[in-house]
Structure 1
Amino acid sequence: MDVYSWGGAISSRDFYTAGRAFMERWNRLNPRMPPWTWVPSPKQHLGLAPSHQINGYLVLEKLCLPDLTHKDGPSQENLDELTSQSRKEEFTFSEEEEFVDNATLVESSNSVGGVHSYDFHIVYSASYRVPVLYFRAYLTDGQPLELDEIEKDLPSSSAKVLVESKWTFITQEEHPYLNRPWYKLHPCGTSEWMKLLFQSDTSLAKHGVSIELYLFSWLSVVGQVFGIRIPPELFNHQDHL
């Protein structure tokens, strides 16, 4: 698929392909990190799911966010791209960027008390035709954290955007598979900046749209909201060709 004629969205089958590739490679190259798993769901669970769709989602559980007190959070430029549909910004990712591994994951604790654990779900949106990051945070006893408590765990640049556009940047709605309220990063504009990501990488642009690399590129942006960096070796497209 040519990058320059591609709109940045993917089908549900592409999401399944991208999800399996992402899960396998992440778990193989990050054995010390919590693993991603694929959770299948029967079509009838969504009621109106067409027969050609593959239902399921990616799950990572019980992740403690890194201590961001003395670290730089995501750039304001990248976060602005998440909350707008600008087509003018370009994203570049350097292999020298710091990434989170098991050595830098710590127990996050603040005035609420106790360890803050996070569950992340990557769910396909049939409306936007892109992945959506759902998440929840809770204490060791299972007590859920409210948004103002979650905000204290985020990098300063993420917290700033959250304050300025709370209900467009992060929203709360029913999880499409679990039928319980979860927070999510709003997918508006995702296809636009995904297209820019692939176009700005000369190697990716040369080889066309690699579905197997789609979720790595996507999480390299949205993961920064929580201070999570993607190990650069995961972007080695040669292994996916």
Structure 2
Amino acid sequence: MSPIPPSPSASPGARPEVALFVTCLVNVMRPQIAEATIALLEQAGCAVVVPPSQTCCGQPALNAGDAEGAKAMARHQIEVLEPYAHIVVPSGSCTATLAHDYPTLLAGDPVWEPRARALASRIHEVLSFLHDVLGHRPAPVRLEASATYHDTCSGLRELGIRAQPRQLLRSVEGLELRPLPEPDTCCGFGGTFCVKYPAISDAVVAEKTAAIRSTGAEILLGGDLGCLMNMAGKLKREGSAIRAYHTVELLAGRGGEPALGEER
């Protein structure tokens, strides 16, 4: 697959410019994911920009029924991200909000709906972007470990991300990827769902962690920090030694660094 072309305003021979939408959780809880994403994109030949005025994508407000608040955040993000030919997000749920929910949320608005639809065509989840758009195989790194992969609901159902992370993980030499029973089952996080319905959420994640432990894997991988935090937290409370990472961290050679919940 050919590399993506640079943006129309770029000079001949320039690297394609990609904007990184960091996401709230990554920014606050695990900035290492953003660092790993930038490293992988630069390795693939992209010039990465982090727009400074980006904020929440509006997903929590939308899930809570605050349509007007979500619309205000959507309009802001559209203005911030419009200048870029490609916007990459290290989260399936935030990608789905930007690409799928914005056009629906702003439907009927003669100004904002067309802008939302135009932006949606340039939004990419990071693992899909690396595999499907760039056709990039990350530089080989080595990690002697066993891992299992959790398919997040938004990434799987709204974005069609299933094979891409597993294909990319082949670049990690020494990594044994073990299949997770019922991989397309929700982990129980669901954004604000786990706050509204904690007992149900806990019951769902208990089934998920039981499946994870049954693999005998040392590492849990995924593409959405919210899901990983939910599962990693439950595993820790259960006394499990399984360590959790975002997939980009392993691909960027950071599998030897502290995992979620471990001191850096």
TM-score clears 0.5: no
Bigger radius of gyration among the two: 2
**TM-score w.r.t. structure 2 length?**
0.28
Structure richer in helix, relative to its length: 2
**TM-score w.r.t. structure 1 length?**
0.30
Q: Which has the higher contact order (CA 8 A, sep 6+)?
A: 1
